């Protein structure tokens, strides 16, 4: 990231983000990158000021963990609309979120087919983390999808993950579960599901990799990741 900043005039950039722990963790990484780019030549005086604004999207307003009938891609859940609106109405200067949060039908918001995009991607934050998924269970004897018991309940609201699960193990009971990472892990702990599939990048960014009892890296050929996985 590069920013043209006058050393005599502090500049404040308002950053919009969802309120979840993972979203805030990722936004703090972006904020740190901005601060590094906005330091004076001596490398110590910060001349770029930032502030973070928490914005609840419609996808965040239905409770911390929800069992639903459809995968997220089919249910119309919106995790970025309110962020876009905040940028458009001037409440914030930029918004930070996972690239995969943008619904395919909304990349990007347009008034009609002839209009240019109202918002655009200003930057990507690197380096990119591993795009692979992990299988999480409470049973240490389960070391892969193949060793899950017949009819096991596997939590995921991703239509991509569900398709691969059903193709490989048609006997599994795939549960549409959404919510932040902590809420989904709690559902596993409470016995609502037997296993959970999460993005490894999110687990690592939250710093909870050592707190999760059983994390398995299934072969990459099983979990074909979305092309934009982990990109901010």
Q: What is the pLDDT along the chain (232 residues), one digit of tens a residue?
A: 322 334 444 468 999 998 888 889 889 999 988 887 766 666 666 667 889 999 876 656 555 455 555 555 555 566 777 888 888 889 999 999 888 777 665 554 544 555 545 778 888 887 888 888 888 888 888 878 888 999 999 998 888 888 888 888 999 999 988 777 888 888 888 999 999 988 888 888 888 766 565 556 555 545 677 777 788 8
User: CA torsion angle for 225, 229, 230, 232 (degrees, to 10)?
Assistant: 180
What is the reported pLDDT for 69?
55
The H or E element that residue 30 is part of is helix 21-37
Per residue, the 3-state secondary structure of 23-87, as one string, reads HHHHHHHHHHHHHHHCECCCCCCECEEEEEEECCCHHHCCCCEEECCCCHHHHCCCCCHHHHHHH
Which entry of 60, 101, 133, 194 is annotated as an active-site residue? Answer: 101
133 is a catalytic site residue: no
136 touches 197 (CB < 8 A): yes
Other Cβ atoms closer than 10 A to 230: 23
Token pair of 211 as six digits = 């707190």
- Taking the complete model, does pTM exceed 0.75, yes or no? no
Q: Which residues contact 227 (CB under 8 A, 6 or more apart)?
A: none
Cα(177)–Cα(65) distance, rounded to whole angstroms? Answer: 7
The whole-number pLDDT of residue 43 equals: 60
pLDDT of residue 216: 61
Dihedral, 193, 198, 203, 206 alpha carbons, nearest 10 = -80
Closest-CA residue to 27 (of 4, 53, 49): 53
């Amino acid at each position: 990231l590069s920013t043209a900043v006058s050393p005599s005039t502090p500049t404040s950039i308002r950053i919009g983000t969802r309120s979840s722990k993972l979203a805030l963790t990722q936004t703090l990484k972006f904020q740190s990158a901005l601060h590094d780019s906005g330091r004076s030549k001596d490398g110590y005086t910060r001349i770029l000021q930032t502030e973070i604004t928490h914005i609840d999207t419609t996808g965040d307003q239905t409770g911390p963990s929800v069992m639903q009938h459809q995968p997220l891609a089919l249910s119309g859940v919106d995790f970025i609309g309110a962020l876009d609106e905040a940028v458009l109405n001037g409440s914030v200067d930029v918004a930070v979120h996972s690239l995969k949060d943008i619904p395919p039908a909304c990349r990007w918001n347009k008034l009609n087919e002839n209009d240019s995009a109202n918002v655009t991607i200003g930057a990507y934050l690197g380096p990119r983390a591993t795009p692979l998924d992990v299988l999480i269970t409470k049973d240490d004897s389960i070391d892969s999808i193949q060793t899950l018991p017949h009819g096991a309940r596997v939590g995921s609201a991703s239509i991509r993950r569900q398709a691969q699960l059903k193709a490989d193990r048609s006997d599994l009971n795939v549960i549409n579960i959404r919510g932040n990472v902590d809420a989904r892990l709690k559902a596993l702990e409470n016995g609502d599901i037997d296993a959970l599939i999460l993005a490894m990048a999110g687990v690592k960014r939250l710093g909870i990799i050592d707190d999760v009892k059983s994390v398995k890296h299934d072969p990459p050929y099983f979990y074909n990741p979305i092309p934009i996985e982990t990109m901010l």
